[in-house]
Chain A
Amino acid sequence: MKKEKRQNAAADILRACLKNKAALIPGIIILIVIALSVFGPLLTHYDETSQDLLNRLMPPGNGHIFGTDELGRDVFTRVLYGTRVSLLVALLPTALAVAAGCAAGVCAAEFKGATDFIIMRLADIMLSIPGMLLAMVVLYTLGGSLTSVVISLVLIEWGGIAVVVRTATLEIRESEFVEAAVSTGAGRFRVMMRHILPNLVPTLIVLFTLNIPSSILSESGLSFLGIGIQPPDVSLGLMAGSSRQYLFQMPHLALAPAGMIMVLVLSFNFLGDALRDILDPGRRTL
């Protein structure tokens, strides 16, 4: 019975999104990008790492849609593979950060007192270090790799999410239906699971969607500087960074991956905006 209700809510959200052009169009673009990156190998007969030194820095055309890079690798293929990393980085650390931020925020609001103080000061500490520099500290310790980038992104993002979730939780706790539940003797855990968490869902969805762009941008920035994801792994930021020196001869080498990042980020931003309008979790999410 309850499960059915929740499914209905999910279906409602989905239906609202399908009706809303502002949500539908970026959603479709994101799906296309995902499809491209997943089925990429079927679209191209090149390999993302195989070098062809005789065909270095080829202009677009001649079987290479975006030409070849400084080692003769097919740029189109590499963009497809790089998009996989961007999508992974978009989803995984953001999901982890939302989960961590949600747990921290709900605990802070629920237990108040010392717990609240410690969690919020920790969040403050995280928030007072610029994300890029915090990531650099992690990368110093763990070295550049996909894993350390994911860890840095979670560290950067959870604090801001925790602050928003805490405010939202406090707001929900003050609402009448929670007071009613508490007054009927429902336990703290029950109130949390049955009343607070379900009502946090819209906020969490919006937070998730709106944090994806910053994850993608941070990863690409780190990889661009050569301190994030390391070759032979492929990343859009890394590609843009390594072909920087050919900017004036072959601008598409840097701009093709950068453009892909832009398309992804723009779509997620549009989708986040539309979801916020549809779900309307209030002004607190900004």
Chain B
Amino acid sequence: MSDILLELKNLTVSIRRDKEDIPIVKGVDIAIPRGKIVGLVGESGCGKSMTAKSVMGILPGAARVSFGSILWHDPDGTVTDLTGLKEKELRKMCGTKIGMVFQEPMTSLNPMMRIGDQVAEVLLIHKLVKNRSEARDKVIQLLNEVGIPEPELRYRSYPHELSGGMRQRVMIAMAVICEPKLLIADEPTTALDVTIEAQILKLIRQMCEARNMSAIVITHNMGVVSRLCDSVYVMYMGRIMERASVRDLFSNPIHPYTRGLLSSIPRIGENSEYLKTIPGNIPESEKETVGCEFCLRCSEDERRCFFERPEETEAEEGHFVSCFTAGPGNEVHHE
């Protein structure tokens, strides 16, 4: 049995605009090992959400997977390409094998439906229970497990009657109720307070460990990555810039973009006059660049970055980076 659960191979997602396909995810390779939590980190608009949505087949209207494959490895060794599945077969996998938690727990729950019914719906549509009352019992048990007080009472609540943290717990319950093998969490704590964030991260971790479930955590927050993930992919403008285990990445960030992300985390006790940021903005031009996507904002002054795209190289064991500064014969600068 392969120890990889899900593999994105050369995944390309394009948006069709004015009769032109504009790639927003550009040939991304990601592998999710069984039982591990993988972080996908980058600024907003870098394509990380699109990557996640393409797995679930819920890309917004004009976007579609234009190239590459999404391979699902079953324990018995069969491999399924999710991009080749019919809509109906894909829906069968969603909820049962893959669960998803969204960013905004208020709008991601149906405001007109009782939360208990919304969780129970997953069981009912996949016919995993015999009847409503069995579904209800299961839901109440799980609501209890995700830390919702008085689950019998809360079963009948509407989303607006719950706090943001509680709603996100409901979302998590909904995602894991069918015991999926993979949890996709798209900015699960962005809309929450810092204290609630810690609780929710802990809950996700617990859920994964208790169920031997893998997870993809999409975030722009390096702090979330450090607390939750085992390994991490850094994404910029639709491309993976660097990937490594969390420990390696934090102790030895190589790509200038990763270094920028890490140094922009405010730290307690640091005597800094102002918040460090990465200079510049994400370029607005949708034209395909010839060189490195990050060249315009990069702190390194390297001429060829503008004309040539760096290949991914292994800087140290299990630590890959797409940057000329990491290539052989180049000094890796540390501050």
A/B: CB atoms within 8 Å of each other: no
